[in-house]
């Protein structure tokens, strides 16, 4: 049955939940059979644990493998824990090689070994080959489904050979050209096979240059290659330049999406695979650590404020205006921080351009600082009729925006050098810096000139 295109997942989700509550199992099965496995995976991830298990038990066994392979790690693990070994073995048989390798990593070693041994020989050999590569490399996500030909045959022979195939792997835009030892020589575009002279040899029309990946290529290298080039597929070679598989555009798009998700989740101190409907206690534990870190930074900023109790008691206006300086610094710093983290991710920042970037961001911070310092000074003077406070607010604003711009460049570079993900902890550090400098400059200047 052809899968329907689901354009409104919320409507389908509400409908499924209603059917679960009404115990309309036949209606649920009909709806699940009409949607793509990726939509079913998304539905399962959108349900609380009890309803998720009800829906999972209604999934046809022949679809379980593909649905599991489409799910995020934590949600998938919650389902796998409920499956007996026989059911899990059946699901594994229907998974593609790279997805199965990923799932096997999440299982206990004895169960993982049992599943591998139960696979057919060809399937087992491909999975074991993938598992032999380091995690987060091209070898782990490549597809071994590659059509390859020899360079000394004619296009007519290639055409006749292709006609013998019932189907060809998805996203096949080239045939790979290899020698007798499977060493990669080049690639043969499908278009040349169709419109080329039948008697021409592959060696006459094949492309010997082009982009390549290796089994040890990192995920970042993969995504950056596909982002820079208009590619459908790329050959993956081992250290001996033998053809091992290929990475396709759908694999690259998934990686790009996962990296974007990870960046968003990391910025909040969360795991990229966190299950939205995970149990309360594990979720609380994960988030509690970063709440604790933030609490420490808040107390540090509060301690700085406490050092200026005398001037705050005398000038109430300072307490009213104080958050403005810190907030503006935080926003300015986060803008710079975001740009620098993006530059690091795209490998656009190197030793040769850091100085120029730092000076540029300081100048941007200074220009914005002057503009907004004048504006807040005017507003504060009209509000409190105190020129001294207006001047101090303006100077503190300028100081903090300059410091924020500098910090937005330096903090992610230092964290990156230390091997710490700037997206995970950069915002926490930056907020602490801008709060402290903002309060210190504003209240310190007020203490010097108003008391």
Residue 275 lies in a domain: no
Same domain, 124 and 25: yes
Same domain, 441 and 330: yes
Tell me the pLDDT band of 265, cut-offs 50, 70 and 90.
low
pLDDT at 6: 43
Same domain, 221 and 285: no
Beta carbons within 10 angstroms of residue 240's beta carbon: 10
Residue 2 lies in a domain: no
Strands 243-248 and 233-237 come out as antiparallel
pLDDT at 273: 54
Average pLDDT over residues 163-169: 85
Same domain, 443 and 341: yes
Residue 103 lies in a domain: yes
Same domain, 126 and 164: no
Kindly report the CA angle at 204 between 202 and 209, in degrees rounded to 5? Answer: 90
Same domain, 241 and 318: no
Same domain, 291 and 261: no
Of the two residues 212 and 353, the one the predictor is more confident about is 212
Q: Each residue of 334-350: pLDDT tens digit?
A: 899 988 988 887 677 87
Of 73, 78, 62, nearest to 103 by C-alpha is 73
- 213 pairs with which residues across the strands? 236
**For residue 26, what are the CA distances in angstroms to 31, 55, 58?**
9, 11, 9
Tell me the pLDDT band of 266, cut-offs 50, 70 and 90.
low
Whole-number CA gyration radius for the chain = 29
Residue 56 lies in a domain: yes
Residue 272 lies in a domain: no
Q: Each residue of 70-122: pLDDT tens digit?
A: 888 888 888 888 888 888 888 888 888 888 888 888 888 888 888 888 888 88
Residue 76: what are its φ and ψ, rounded to 5°?
Answer: -65, -40
Tell me the pLDDT band of 7, cut-offs 50, 70 and 90.
very low
Residue 273 lies in a domain: no
pLDDT at 213: 95
Of 233, 271, 272, nearest to 252 by C-alpha is 233
Average pLDDT over residues 247-261: 81
Average pLDDT over residues 222-248: 91
Of 79, 75, 123, 128, nearest to 105 by C-alpha is 128
Residue 178 lies in a domain: yes
Residue 143: what are its φ and ψ, rounded to 5°?
Answer: -100, 130
Q: What percent of the chain has pLDDT over 70?
A: 90
pLDDT at 184: 95
3-state SS string for the chain: CCCECCCCHHHHHHHHHHHHHCCCHHHHHHHHHHECHHHHHHHHHCCCHHHHHHHHCCCCHHHHHHHHHCCCHHHHHHHHCCCCHHHHHHHHHCCCHHHHHHHHHCCCHHHHHHHHHHCCHHHHHHHHHHHCCCCCEHHHHCECCCCEECCCCEHHHHHHHHHCCCCCCCCCCEEEEECCCCEEEEEEEHHHHHHCCCCCEHHHHCECCCCEEECCCEHHHHHHHHHHCCCCEEEEECCCCEEEEEEEHHHHHHHHHHHHHHHHHHHCCCCCCCCCCCCHHHHHHHHHHHHHHHHHHHHHHHHHHHCCHHHHHHCHHHHHHHHHHHHHHHHHHHHHHHHHHHHHHCCCCCCCCHHHHHHHHHHHHHHHHHHHHHHHHHHHHHHHCCHHHHHHHHHHHHHHHHHHHHHHHHHHHHHHHCCCCHHHHHHHHHHHHHHHHHHHHHHHHHHHHHC
**Which domain CATH number covers 36?**
1.25.60.10
Model pTM?
0.61
Q: Which domain holds residue 14?
A: 9-133
Q: Which of 133, 159, 185 is the last residue of a domain?
A: 133
Q: Do the beta carbons of residue 416 and residue 422 sit within 8 Å?
A: yes
What integer best gives the mean pLDDT of the chain?
A: 85
Same domain, 237 and 357: no
**Which domain CATH number covers 335?**
1.10.357.20
Tell me the pLDDT band of 367, cut-offs 50, 70 and 90.
very high
Of the two residues 410 and 38, the one the predictor is more confident about is 410
394 vs 387: CA distance, rounded Å = 11
Same domain, 360 and 260: no
Q: Which of 79, 99, 133 is the last residue of a domain?
A: 133
Number of domains in the chain: 3
pLDDT at 5: 44
Q: Which of 209, 244, 267 is the last residue of a domain?
A: 267
Same domain, 89 and 176: no
Torsional class of 201: left (φ above 0), alpha (ψ -120 to 50), beta (otherwise)? beta
Q: Which of 175-184, 336-345, 355-364, 382-391 has the lowest mean pLDDT?
A: 336-345
Of 312, 313, 321, 315, nearest to 383 by C-alpha is 321
pLDDT at 349: 86
Structure tokens at 230: 């208009």
Q: What percent of the chain has pLDDT over 90?
A: 31
Same domain, 300 and 439: yes
Residue 142 lies in a domain: no
163 vs 398: CA distance, rounded Å = 72
Same domain, 404 and 443: yes
Q: Which of 43-47, 154-158, 287-291 has the lowest mean pLDDT?
A: 287-291
């Amino acid at each position: 049955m052809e899968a329907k295109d689901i354009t409104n997942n919320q409507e389908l989700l509400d409908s499924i939940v209603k059917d679960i509550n009404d115990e309309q199992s036949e209606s649920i099965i009909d709806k699940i059979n009409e949607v793509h496995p990726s939509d079913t995976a998304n539905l399962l991830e959108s349900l609380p644990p009890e309803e998720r298990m009800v829906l999972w038990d209604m999934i046809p066994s022949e679809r379980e493998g593909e649905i599991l392979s489409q799910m995020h790690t934590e949600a998938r693990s919650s389902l796998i824990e409920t499956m007996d070994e026989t059911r899990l073995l059946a699901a594994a048989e229907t998974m593609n090689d790279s997805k199965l390798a990923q799932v096997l990593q999440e299982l206990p070693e004895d169960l993982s070994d049992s599943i591998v041994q139960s696979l057919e020989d060809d399937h087992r050999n491909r999975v074991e080959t993938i598992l032999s590569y380091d995690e987060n490399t091209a070898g782990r996500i490549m597809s071994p489904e590659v059509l390859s030909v020899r360079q000394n045959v004619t296009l007519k022979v290639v055409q006749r050979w292709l006609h013998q195939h019932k189907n060809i792997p998805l996203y096949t835009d080239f045939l790979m050209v290899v020698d007798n030892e499977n060493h990669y020589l080049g690639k043969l575009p499908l278009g040349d096979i169709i419109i080329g002279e039948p008697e021409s040899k592959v060696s006459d029309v094949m492309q010997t240059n082009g982009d390549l990946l290796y089994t040890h290529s990192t995920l970042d290298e993969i995504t950056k290659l596909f982002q820079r080039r208009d590619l459908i597929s790329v050959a993956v070679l081992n250290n001996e330049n033998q053809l091992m598989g290929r990475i396709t555009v759908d694999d690259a798009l998934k990686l790009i999406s996962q990296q974007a998700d990870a960046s968003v989740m990391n910025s909040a101190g969360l795991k990229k695979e966190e299950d939205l409907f995970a149990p309360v206690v594990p979720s609380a534990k994960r988030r509690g650590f970063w709440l604790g870190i933030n609490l420490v930074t808040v107390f540090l900023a509060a301690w700085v404020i406490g050092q200026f109790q005398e001037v705050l008691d005398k000038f109430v206006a300072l307490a009213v205006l104080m958050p403005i300086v810190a907030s503006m610094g935080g926003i300015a710093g986060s803008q710079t921080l975001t740009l620098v983290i993006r530059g690091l991710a795209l490998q656009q920042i190197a030793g040769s351009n850091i100085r120029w970037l730092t000076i540029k961001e300081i100048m941007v911070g200074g220009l914005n600082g002057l503009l907004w310092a004048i504006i807040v000074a005017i507003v504060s003077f009209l509000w409190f009729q105190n020129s001294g406070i207006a001047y101090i607010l303006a100077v503190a604003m300028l100081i903090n925006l300059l410091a924020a711009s500098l910090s937005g460049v330096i903090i992610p570079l230092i964290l990156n050098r230390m091997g710490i993900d700037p997206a995970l902890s950069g915002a926490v550090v930056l907020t602490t810096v801008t709060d402290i400098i903002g309060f210190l400059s504003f209240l310190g200047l007020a203490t010097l000139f108003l008391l």
